[in-house]
Amino acid sequence: MTHIYKKSTALIAGAALSLSLIQPGEAAVESNTYQTFTDVDRSSEFYDSIESMYYKGVMSGYQTGSNFLDPKEMKPLQPVTRAQASKMMVNAAGMFPATQNTNSFEDVPESHWADTYVTLLSRADVISGKEDGSFDPEGQLNRAQVAKMIAETFDLPLNDGETSFEDVPEDSWFAPYVNALLDSGITTGRTEDSFDPYGTVTRYQLAAFLDRALDQLTVDEMNDRQTLMIARETLVKLNDQLSYQRKNADSTEDLPGYDTFSESVTPFVTDDYEPTLIERYENVCVNCGATLFHAPFFPEKYIDFDVKNEDAISFTVAQFDSPYLMEVDLLRNGEQWQVNGYIPDGEDTPPAPVDFEQAANFVQYLYEGGAYDRITYLDERPDAYRFYHEKNGLETIFVVNKNTGAITIEP
């Protein structure tokens, strides 16, 4: 029995950002609208960027309770760590969040939560670590480093010319990356003539930078997983608002009337789909944990786009734990994408053949961590790859079908 094989391998600015925060002990205003965060007020100039990155799955919040609807703490003023930034970069780039490669940093072993993200960026030459060979995952990033990470991650054209910032010398190592962000409209600097290259980057600043970076892409330019972020953001926002209304209801008779909160929901649905939305809201069981709208969470084992442009996105997608296709139809209304069709359990998933690396990545992403904190490769059968896990005397064997990509657990 051998360990899953891994090949060994040896960061914007913006004007000074202001943020309206909900202070500790300050009660949120009661509303029929779901409050997503505990510490970032909706009136904040940068609320939209933080909300966008959260709902697209680029960044995570900190749980404040046991229910998924409990508002998240975002810690927007906390300096972002190098490990956290790596995760956000990988997610924003639409990379598949698993790999059978390793990185060369002794302080980011395979057991580290950020190993996959650091490895992916290292292999893509986005990061190179420090002079002593370490990565310093809990260290902070300055604005020059973040500029490089964003420029490399999004493959922005570099500009070796003179900058408009007095603190960015033309011969500095970071000038081409700062220029790349400036040319792309991702940054305008701390002030008109200052970039502050050595200033610390906070969680909300990186969220704003990445939000702008994604905004520079047209839908046609986005890869499949970046396009799925649009659907994820729209569907999860819609699900959160509807689930919030149902959270404290004891029965369908106690449900708040749709018209009492419709203004918080209608931005996310077309007029044609709204009657179906109301039916789903009124008929899905109350307080049983049912999800009204499953978003296309990652990773996906099959995806096919029927339409993918600036006005419409239509696709079918299959998750690893479902034998059925999810069908999603989105239309754009100004700056907002809206659900125009949604079938959670459509046709049977077509065969999606996988090779060993894909199979290992699927199992790694789905099951490593938590109860399955280390997966090992067991053997190969004519029609499947098998992976093994043992913890506290409990042995588990995962079987990945080569022809369909389906994952089962041997009894």
Q: What is the DSSP string of 46-75?
A: THHHHHHHHHTTSS--B--SSSTTSPBB--
pLDDT one-digit tens code per residue, 297-339: 656 778 899 999 999 999 998 876 667 888 999 999 999 999 9
Per-residue pLDDT at 18:
41
Identify the weakest region by mean pLDDT among 27-31, 184-188, 231-235: 27-31
Under 8 Å CB-to-CB from 27, ≥6 apart: which residues? none
Per-residue pLDDT at 15:
40
CA-to-CA distance for 180 and 186, rounded, in angstroms?
Answer: 9
Identify the weakest region by mean pLDDT among 123-132, 266-275, 282-291: 282-291
Residues shown for the chain: 411
Mean pLDDT (whole number) for 155-166: 92
pLDDT one-digit tens code per residue, 380-392: 999 999 998 877 7
Other CB atoms within a 10 A radius of the CB of residue 301 amount to 20
Mean pLDDT (whole number) for 221-231: 94
pLDDT one-digit tens code per residue, 40-75: 988 887 899 999 999 999 999 998 988 888 889 999
Per-residue pLDDT at 16:
42
Per-residue pLDDT at 371:
56
Per-residue pLDDT at 237:
92
Other CB atoms within a 10 A radius of the CB of residue 354 amount to 22
Compute the mean pLDDT over every residue in the chain, rounded to the nearest whole number. Answer: 86
CA-to-CA distance for 334 and 109, rounded, in angstroms?
Answer: 46
CATH of domain 231-350: 3.10.450
Position 30 confidence tier, pLDDT thresholds 50, 70, 90: very low
CB of 186 closer than 8 Å to CB of 209: yes
Mean pLDDT (whole number) for 107-130: 93
Per-residue pLDDT at 297:
61
Position 10 confidence tier, pLDDT thresholds 50, 70, 90: very low
Which of 269, 411, 286 is closest to 329 using CA atoms? 269
Mean pLDDT (whole number) for 340-353: 84
Per-residue pLDDT at 4:
45
- For the chain, the domains span 1-216, 231-350, 356-409
Identify the weakest region by mean pLDDT among 24-28, 345-349, 373-377: 24-28
Q: How many percent of the chain have pLDDT more than 70?
A: 87
Per-residue pLDDT at 121:
96
Q: Enumerate long-range contacts of 388-391, CB under 8 Å, 24 or more apart.
A: 388/1
Per-residue pLDDT at 92:
97
Higher pLDDT, 27 or 192: 192
Q: How many percent of the chain have pLDDT more than 90?
A: 55
Query: Which helix (H) or strand (E) covers residue 300, if one does?
Result: strand 300-308
Indicate if the pLDDT at residue 377 is higher than 50: yes
- Tell the burial category of 247 from Cβ atoms under 10 Å away from its Cβ (0-12, 13-18, 19+): middle
CA-to-CA distance for 360 and 365, rounded, in angstroms?
Answer: 9
Per-residue pLDDT at 407:
86
Indicate if the pLDDT at residue 115 is higher than 90: yes
pLDDT one-digit tens code per residue, 230-252: 999 999 999 898 888 887 676 76
Indicate if the pLDDT at residue 286 is higher than 90: no
Q: Which one of 10-19, 137-146, 313-322 scores highest in mean pLDDT?
A: 137-146
Per-residue pLDDT at 222:
96
